[in-house]
Structures are given as C-alpha cells and as structure tokens.
Amino acid sequence: MFAATDVQYLDEGGARAALVLAPDEAFSTVTVEERVLVPDVAPYEPGEFYRRELPCLRAVLARSLSNVKLLVIDGYVDLDPSGRPGLGAHAYQEFGVPVIGVAKTRFDTATHAAEVRRGQDAVRPLYVTAAGLPVADAAALVEGMSGKHRLPDALRRVDQLARGR
C-alpha cells in the first residue's frame, strides 16, 4: 500500500492526523481513510518541527505501517542540500519506508528540492524532496499522481480529513 498523511493542529489543543491508503503509487483509488485525534502535541519549535508532527504520524500509521511501501508527507524530507533532516528524514529513519515530502511553499534553504508543476496552476510549483529513493523519481511520482489540480487528489483528500471535513 501507498500512504499519504497530513496533520492539523486544533485551536483547542492537540491535533488530528489523517491517512489515506491506495494500492498504487498514483493513488488512483483510495481504499482506506483514517483519522486519529492526538490529544497532546509538543509546542512548535523552529527547526524542530518533527518533534511536534512525528508522534501524530506514528499514531495514524499505527495500524497500517506493516503494509506501507511508501509514505508521502506534507512538508520537506530534508531542509538543505547538505541533508539537514526535516520531518520526512525523521519519518524515514523511524518507519523504514521511502518517504516523499511534498511542500506547497518554498523553504529558503531547500534549494535542492525538485519543482513539480501540475494542473491548471502550472505557475506555482510543488517542492519535492525524498529519502529512500532518488528525488527525480519522487518528483516524477508526484507529477503522475491522480488529479487535475496543482495538489494531487490524495494530498487534497488527506488535508480535508485532517481538517475534519
């Protein structure tokens, strides 16, 4: 299975972590959707975002991880060309599956991220990083993911689930 995840931090505290699973890397058919409430999350610390988000990913992947071949996250795998680890690098180390990071905004030091332009909004790229597979392969996979919009359908859906929709 191929997994995509997202996390939404709640105004009242805690977070909602979401997951979609598909049998193919294009996420053409999502077969599982899950949400998990995480009551306690660490405060945000610049440069330490993974400390806040990784426990949420751990919670939502708990039942599915043994079947996951690839994990797609909202964010960066590494934060600069020298490999300073971001959330995706920590997820790769912890879960032991290839991780693709898909970010909607450019992070200044992530000059190594591959730009992927999709859909009608081909002017604004997505920024792709990876661990466990070459970045060029990850970018091609994101480009080929199901959906007509800038953000692939699986990532749009997991965002909606994390927001409680």
From first to last of its 165 residues, what are the pLDDT tens digits of the chain? 999 999 999 988 999 999 999 999 999 999 999 999 999 998 888 777 888 999 999 999 998 888 999 999 999 999 899 888 999 999 999 999 999 999 999 988 888 999 999 987 678 899 999 999 999 999 999 999 999 999 999 999 999 999 987
- In whole angstroms, what separates CA 153 from the centre of its chain? 13
Please state at what angle helix 49-61 crosses helix 87-95, rounded to 10 degrees. 40
In the structure encoding, which two tokens stand for residue 146, read together? 């199901």
- In whole angstroms, what separates CA 147 from the centre of its chain? 16
- In whole angstroms, what separates CA 78 from the centre of its chain? 12
Provide the 3-class DSSP secondary structure of residue 165.
coil
Q: Is the pTM of this model over 0.85?
A: yes
Provide the 3-class DSSP secondary structure of residue 152.
coil
CB 127 within 8 A of CB 115: yes
Q: Of all helices (H) and strands (E), which one includes residue 141?
A: helix 135-143
For residue range 8-27, list pLDDT tens digits in order.
Answer: 999 889 999 999 999 999 99
| Cα dihedral value 164, 70, 133, 48, nearest 10 | 40
Please provide the CATH number assigned to the domain covering 2-162.
3.30.2170.10
For residue range 65-92, list pLDDT tens digits in order.
Answer: 889 999 999 999 998 998 889 999 999 9
